[in-house]
Amino acid sequence: MAEALLKVDNISKRFGGLLAVNGASFSVAVGCISALIGPNGAGKTTLFSIIAGFLSPDNGRVFYNGADITGEPPHRLARRGIARTFQIVQPFAGLTVRENIAIGAHLSRRGRGEALGAAGEVARSVGLGAQLEAPAATLTVAGRKRLELARALAIMPRLLLLDEVLAGLNPSEIRDMIPVIRGIADNGMTVLMTEHVMQAVMSLAKQVFVLAEGRVIAQGTPQQVAADQRVIEAYLGHGAARRMAVGAGHG
Amino acid sequence: MKTYLPIIVVVALLAAVPLFTTSNVVLNFLVTALLIALAGQGWNLLGGYGGQYSFGHAAFFGTAAYATAILQVRYGVNAWLGLFIGTAAGALVGAAIGALTFRSGLRGSYFSLVTLAFAEVLRIVASVAPITGAGVGMLIPLDLHAQAFQFQSRVPFYFIALALVALSLLVVRAIENSRFGAYLAAVRENEDAASALGVDAFSVKLCAITISAAITATAGCFYAQYFLFIDAGIAYGPWISIDALLAPIVGGAGTVFGPLLGALAIKTLGETTKLVAADAPGLDLVIYGLLLVGVIGLAPRGIAGLLRTISRLRPSSGTTLEDSHG
Amino acid sequence: MLSPVILLPAILNGLMTGAIYALVALGLTLIYGVLHIINFAHGALLTAAMFAAFFAYTLLGLDPYLAVFLLAPLFFVAGYALQRFVIGPAAHGEDRNFLLVTLGLAIVIENALLYFFRADTRTINLPYAFNVVEFGPAFIAVPRIVALGAVIALALALWAIMQWTDTGKAIRAVAKEKLGAELCGINVAHVFAIAFGLGTACVAVAACLLIPTYYVNPTAGDAFVLIAFTIVVLGGMGSVAGALIGGLCVGVIESLSSVFLGESLGQIGIFALFIVMLLVRPSGLFGARA
């Protein structure tokens, strides 16, 4: 059993009257791809922001590599080796692709020339090699998603948090992106992704956590989770599992 | 990576000017233009490169000017030492304002407002405090010797101003080529994304405002030595806050030569206006205001931007003065 | 120093002055609430309006309280035109540019006034300007009471416009969600210009209310600008109630600090409050989180 690189322990977060996250707990094993899924409003993005240091939880702790990182600011988490991409892409619009990625590369490289050079390599690894000198603002959505990925990879993280990295992509772009993500994990990176695109989750993730109404209601392999009654109810509504079983019996 | 060659060339060309003319009018024009270029380069670092628009750079200019004046007049400190202490004082004020405002997460318009407020507070205090001479101002006694940082002729002042401007150009170029400069640009473009990549935005901005304040502060000390008289309106007045931001914007914010180009442009415009309209008060500032609106509306990247666009249109374009990203 | 004979008039006068501040702040907060941008030209526009009111009296013989009905629409149109044809296009939609463009405009307006009218300070002499009404130990000038009443009336009128007219609804829509409003067919550039026009009209009214008791020179508006900013930050950017209550509070604070610290340092009380508010609670007492 692989040891846990990231451990989320009983996290809760309230926004005024809304309890967005309600005692969520799970552990992400090192060296494989895990997915956090759940219906809209389940609290995935809030949980992600808490893990990535952009929000502080009201209760609970987050552990990384054994250390308590709860409430640490994002830049310090990056230095520990945690990288994140944003659901709504945030390129440095006025800079070129190379300069964008170099910002990440600078975390471990002081020299400008070094960082710019390293940026080139990272760009090629995600398929942006041809657009290195282009201004980030001229990239398509798919290109910007790859740029987000490249920037995050440039800080040489151990844990990569992908926040709906496939959102907004058309089917062929998704099909092109999946091998890129798989390639990253194959190199030993631990990946935690939140996703709505189920085909990606099924084909990429080794372990899936299902979040509904702010807490983890099921976890396991993608196949186990897809067959879980509680998960079906969470997505399709109360009684749906039974209706589906009855329907299958008649079909 | 950008080279230092253009800076050396420009400085050398400017240094040759006194060989061709000893006209006081020309030298005075150039000295005041260099003064604005220096103050503007300070603003440029924080505003053009860092994206934080200060409307109160007078706070750093005035503190340094008063510091060196007070040290000389009341405590007999040497003027050159005053230059260093004044610069340090201005930098300290920058660090203080930065620590307070950035810690609170103030951005955008709020930041501009608060810097405006700080400058105004200092102006009011200086206009009534005994140590600054209150409403009367401060006069640095005439002592035309090099060790007192005063000269009979304008030429030494010109070279000193040029040296200070050259230093500021080198510093900014060095920052452009450094990790700090890259981080500063990232913070300007998108602070949250930068944090996620390990950039400590608060430290970066604090560092930027301190260096920015130091550069503008040096201009303040120089002003005190060149004109030998300051009061609250001169030291902390809106005129310097406006000039310090107008020069880089007109010349090209976020470029090394922007403030210098802009300072020359606005001084030229100012002098031309004076010729046309005699000494009617206000007209030169009307032109400045229209210039600001015009530049933002029609040529937001300033003179440097226009030059870059022109050089790209010409088929055989070599390196321009403002080398593009590489 | 603390006797009621000194404090009461100071407080009452502070309230009267505060009413004018509130009106100026109202214009500023209206513009911020809709365009989400701080209008640095606000003070200069106030100065221009004060000159207009001055000349309306000296050249046209128009009593300031009547001039309101001429100048408010005039300045509404001017404000509308400025936003629609100068500021909006020049700023290219970027917040930073808007700051600089309004700053540039402020410089142009103030110095144009300086160029045309010199720096002399002017006042007008209304025959009834010095009539006073007694409030215990305090004597309050009639024009100031009229000002307070006018401000309240105007605030109510603006509130009514916002609540009940189609234009008001369009303004509120754009203020809340620009893109959505645009998708509903609302002409955002037009609404921005109307908001700016209304803000400028507020300033014109304030000028007419000020002129009976205040002086005019090219920097007269400056004194009010930073105070207006302080009020808007205190009361919350975009909050009408905040501007009103904040204005009255600031008027009183300024009056009291002048009593204790002297005239010029009274201003410092305002600035200090401003800086503290920005550092501690930039969203103000009534505003939404920025």
ipTM of the complex: 0.89
Round to whole Å and give the CA distance between B169 and B165.
6
| Domain span including residue B181 | 5-237
C33-52 pLDDT tens trace: 888 888 889 999 999 999 99
Q: How, if at all, do strands A4-15 and A18-29 pair?
A: antiparallel
**B272 lies in a domain?**
no
- Which residue in B110, B124, B282 is closest to C282 by CB distance? B110
Round to whole Å and give the CA distance between B121 and B123.
5
- Closest Cα to residue B121, out of C247, C273, C38, C258? C273
At a CB cut-off of 8 Å and minimum separation 6, what does C99 contact?
B53, B109, B112, C37, C38, C40
C169-206 pLDDT tens trace: 888 888 888 878 888 888 888 999 999 999 999 999 99
B195 CB within 8 Å of a chain A CB: yes
Question: Which three-class secondary structure state does DSSP give residue A53?
Answer: coil
Question: Within a 10 A sphere around the Cβ of B325, how many other Cβ atoms?
Answer: 13
Counting as low any pLDDT under 50, the low residues of chain A are 1, 251
Binning pLDDT at 50, 70 and 90, where does residue C264 land? low
Options 1.10.287, 3.30.70, 1.20.120, 1.10.3470; which CATH number does C4-280 get?
A: 1.10.3470
When pLDDT is averaged across residues C23-33 and rounded to a whole number, the result is 88
Amino acid letter, A27:
S
The shortest C-alpha distance from A107 to chain B (Å) reads: 6
Position B128 scores a pLDDT of: 86
Cβ-defined contact of A112 to B193 (cutoff 8 Å): no
Q: Residue for token digits 């006081």? A: B24
Q: What count of CB pairs under 8 Å joins B to C?
A: 121
Contact B262, B302 (CB under 8 A): yes
- Closest Cα to residue B41, out of B235, B197, B194, B258? B258
Read off the tokens for A214.
């702010």
CATH number listed for the domain at residues A1-81+157-251: 3.40.50.300
Q: How, if at all, do strands C138-141 and C132-135 pair?
A: antiparallel
Best to test chain A binding among B175, B179, B197, B255 (most A CBs inside 10 Å)? B197
Round to whole Å and give the CA distance between A152 and A155.
6
Cβ-defined contact of B193 to A86 (cutoff 8 Å): yes
Alpha-carbon Rg for chain C, nearest whole angstrom, is 19
Quick check: C134 pLDDT over 90?
Answer: no
User: Residue B151's beta-bridge partner residues?
Assistant: none
Question: Which three-class secondary structure state does DSSP give residue C92?
Answer: coil
Chains that touch A (3 or more CB pairs under 8 A): B
Question: Within a 10 A sphere around the Cβ of B300, how many other Cβ atoms?
Answer: 18
Cβ-defined contact of C226 to B249 (cutoff 8 Å): no
* A91 neighbourhood in chain B, CB within 8 Å: 190, 193
A151 CB within 8 Å of a chain B CB: yes
Round to whole Å and give the CA distance between C279 and C290.
13
Task: Write down the mean pLDDT value for chain C.
Answer: 83
- Which residue in B179, B199, B200 is closest to A110 by CB distance? B179
The shortest C-alpha distance from B114 to chain C (Å) reads: 6
- Closest Cα to residue A205, out of A187, A188, A185? A185
Length of chain C: 290
Position B197 scores a pLDDT of: 95
- Which residue in B190, B195, B325 is closest to A73 by CB distance? B195
Q: Which chain A residue lies closest to B180 (C-alpha atoms)?
A: A110
Residue A1 burial (CB < 10 Å; 0-12/13-18/19+)? exposed
Read off the tokens for C169.
């609804």
B183 CB within 8 Å of a chain A CB: yes
Torsion, CA A156, CA A162, CA A167, CA A173, rounded to 10: 40
Contact A211, A42 (CB under 8 A): yes
Round to whole Å and give the CA distance between A124 and A119.
9
Taking only the tens of pLDDT, chain B with its 326 residues reads 778 999 999 999 999 999 898 888 999 999 999 999 999 999 999 999 999 999 999 999 999 999 999 999 999 999 999 999 999 999 999 999 999 889 877 777 788 888 988 998 899 899 988 888 888 899 998 888 888 889 888 899 999 999 999 999 999 999 999 999 999 999 999 999 999 999 999 999 999 999 999 999 999 999 999 999 999 999 999 889 999 999 999 999 999 999 999 999 999 988 888 787 767 777 888 888 898 899 998 888 889 988 888 888 876 544 444 444 43
Let me know the angle formed at the C-alpha of C175 by C72 and B104, rounded to the nearest 5 degrees: 105
pTM assigned to the model: 0.88
Torsion, CA B111, CA B113, CA B118, CA B124, rounded to 10: 170
Amino acid letter, B150:
Q
* C280 neighbourhood in chain B, CB within 8 Å: 104
Position B325 scores a pLDDT of: 41
Helices and strands (DSSP H and E) totals, chain B: 15, 2
What is the total count of domains within chain B? 1
- Closest Cα to residue B301, out of B320, B322, B272? B322
Position B6 scores a pLDDT of: 93
The shortest C-alpha distance from C5 to chain B (Å) reads: 28
Contact B227, B134 (CB under 8 A): no
